[in-house]
A and B are shown apart, each in its own frame.
Chain A
Amino acid sequence: MLSLFVLSLTLSVPLILAALGGLTSERSGVINIGLEGKMLVAACITGLVGMASGNAFVGFLCGSGAAVAMSLLHYLVTQAFRVDHIISGMGLNALAVGLTSVLHKRLTNPDFTDRIPGFPVQVYWVIAGAAVVGIAWYLNRTKGGLRLSAVGNDPDKARQMGVQPTLVRFYALVATGLFCGLAGSLIVTNAGSFTENMTAGKGYIALAALILGGWRPLPALLACILFGFFEALQIQLQGQAILGVDLPSWVWQSLPYFVTIVALAGFLGKNQAPAGLGRP
């Protein structure tokens, strides 16, 4: 039972970090289906640089830098060129899948058989926990947090009150990049080596958790842990009956997505999306 608990937490930490990345972006009004791509790039670069340098910190720094760069590309396209947020997110994800595949295939050192150097996973746990509390505080208790919510809900009115929406979104997307960087480097550290498309939809699950949590940090955290728990159950039980119900594993795997759809359909209370999502 304890191992199930630990496994749930282990599986949920990357989700929490990615969900926080989604939170800063979406609370500023930028729809972010590009989380997946940003995490993937971070995982790949962390792996490649970590391998080449043998230094966990350098690897992490470069991986996060790459995720921030992706996020800034997102900023450029959505804010300077005012491209539709969904199209740009799709483009980023396609780019990330292709780019990491090319880099991984050609630049991976075949003689390197060790695990990629990384921080102990506990470091990420602490960061994730602290970040959730920190962001919850930031949103409610600081000038920056207030302005972030204002821009995310109504950029025009925020502008009337003397807030610059593009500046707020710039910082928000840098934060998104950093969180995706953390998530990506954790994923590759956990696995020990990079494999193609290794984020395997975690970015979308994180997005689902964010929606389920009503775009608020603490509920999003709980949703991530719940999703982590579903996954852990599925791994540990492998088709055994739970409470006398024998659910096939695909149902367990799909549960996070299914719950999110039910939430979107309005069966779990009012839709609390930031009102300014996707607005220029």
Chain B
Amino acid sequence: MSQETPAVQMTDIVQKFGSFTALDHVSLAVQKGGIHALVGENGAGKTTLMKVLYGALKQTSGHVELSGRPIQFRNQAEAIQNGIGMVSQHYAIIPELTCLQNLMLGAEPGWAIPVKKAEERAYDLASKMGFSFDWNSPAAGLSPAGAQKLEILKLLWRKASIMILDEPTAMLSPSDSDALYDSLKSLAEGGATIIVVTHRLPEVMESCQNVTVLRGGKLIDSRPVSDVTTAELANLIVGRSLEIPTKEGFLGSNPWLQVKGLTVKGDRGNEAVRNASFTLCKGEVVGIAGVDGNGQRELFQALSGNRKPQGGQIVLAGKDVTKEGQAQRIQAGVRQIPEDRHAEGVIEEWSLAENASLGLQRHPTLRKGSFIDRKARLDFASKIAERFRTKHSGFQKPMKSLSGGNQQRFVAARALAIDPKLVLAFQPTRGLDIDGTQQVYNALRATARSGGAALVVSFDLDELLEHCDRVMVICHGVLSEVPENQTRDRAAIGRLMVGAEL
């Protein structure tokens, strides 16, 4: 290894949010002129570490040096002036502006823009990278890959020499991903320093020089990619295989939810779910493992009736519900524990009692004809608050007076309360402690066993393995069953999740 001063040296970084330690004495050294991969599971602290680097977060302790010079940025603008830029997962591209305008925004060449000169420079930058852009067309027409390229050019426009890319291939097709890495390689050869935050191991193995693994906010290992195999890396990421309790496997035989050839388009027009087929048997609790953003959201939206599938069929309890809307599916017993409870699960200004019937407002037990049955609703609210011991200070108090965890308890209990036939739970234990997690899964299981089924998405594989009857994996929109002999093999499932060969 060369002994020159690293382009980026982060030493003993600690980042605390309240009592929670997101980064625990993490160090990172990145050499100039290469691609450095930063890998780890969701919540391992990768993004937090990068935010500290470019000034979006101020670390609790530890220090950062660029080429041996200590620095402390107060904001992103300062970071970019010093040559560090980041492309976040959510592109900062304004679709209504042209590509050229997006390129310049915030770093315009002068008060009156010399358009010809700006265009020339844009063409130059793009051609150096092997990209081609129609600079005067609106950015709305860009594909995800095009947007990603524009983001990289934005950094080059600002003369950044250190670039951080957060999950750059999350939205890209395999061939676009390859093309992206080709251009990153040529940038690195030209002397740029590139840090890629990713979940995908094949791209690490193929394109990066060094890799750093984080887990649970701690530095696990950092070494040249040539010294490690995919399997080793996967083990480093997920940790030593925990002893998985061998549960009495539940074997369903009665098909309850049958999905055939389901294809769903995402917001960007990409195929978010591709030709998914699976069956849930009556009584089963099935987990869907996968890294965030691989089509879980779109799959659930299609199942709940919130997003029209492009093709395929959904059969619940022997009845084809593909064409039915949300209200009819609720009536048929589809219940949700939504991912974003602020946006979809509760109305924060409303009281607990009012929120108790949200989604179930037309259920016969909660109304008398066209009128709300207030007494029944209040009883119902107290019943669901009781179930997972939601801490509250009265049913007439607004929902926003509850902590996030207590809101989650309330929402989960509501979904499981009346006639659930199919429960769609998205990260149902987000914000819950071990005890709460246990209770929610027990309830999910009890609900399923008493004549239904449950489908759970979680980004925490351990949680799924511990609590679900079986686990499927979603990666890049493709849903796959875990082979028979590996259903409890944590490492094997982990490899499926990151798109590695078994």
Contacts and interface: CB of A to CB of B under 8 A. Distances in A.
B147 interface: no
B258 interface: no
A157 B111 CA distance: 21
B446 interface: no
B97 A161 contact: no
B110 interface: yes
Nearest to B88: A160
A18 to B, nearest CB: 24
Interface stretch (B98-106, B243-251, B359-367): B98-106
A274 B97 CA distance: 10
A144 B104 CA distance: 12
B76 A149 contact: no
Given A150-B105, A163-B106, A143 B97 contact: no
A142 B112 contact: yes
Contacts of B80: 162
A106 interface: no
A86 interface: no
B104 A146 contact: yes
Contacts, number: 54
A142 B105 contact: no
Given A158-B105, A162-B77, A143 B111 contact: yes
Contacts of B112: 141-143
A275 interface: yes
Given A141-B113, A160-B76, A162-B76, A146 B108 contact: yes
Contacts of B101: 146, 149-150
Contacts of A275: 95-96
A147 B108 CA distance: 10
Give the size category of B's interface with A. 20 to 34
Contacts of B110: 143
Interface residues of A, number: 18
Nearest to B109: A143
A150 B113 contact: no
Contacts of B95: 153, 275
B115 interface: yes
A84 interface: no
Most A-side CB within 10 Å, residue of B92, B105, B115: B105
A153 B97 contact: yes
Given A160-B92, A161-B92, A162-B106, A149 B97 contact: yes
9 contacts: A143-B108, A143-B112, A149-B101, A157-B93, A158-B94, A160-B76, A161-B92, A162-B76, A274-B96
Interface of B: 76-77, 80, 92-97, 101, 104-108, 110-113, 115
Please list the 4 inter-chain residue pairs (A to B) with the smallest Cβ-Cβ separation, ordered nearest first: A161-B106, A162-B106, A143-B108, A160-B92
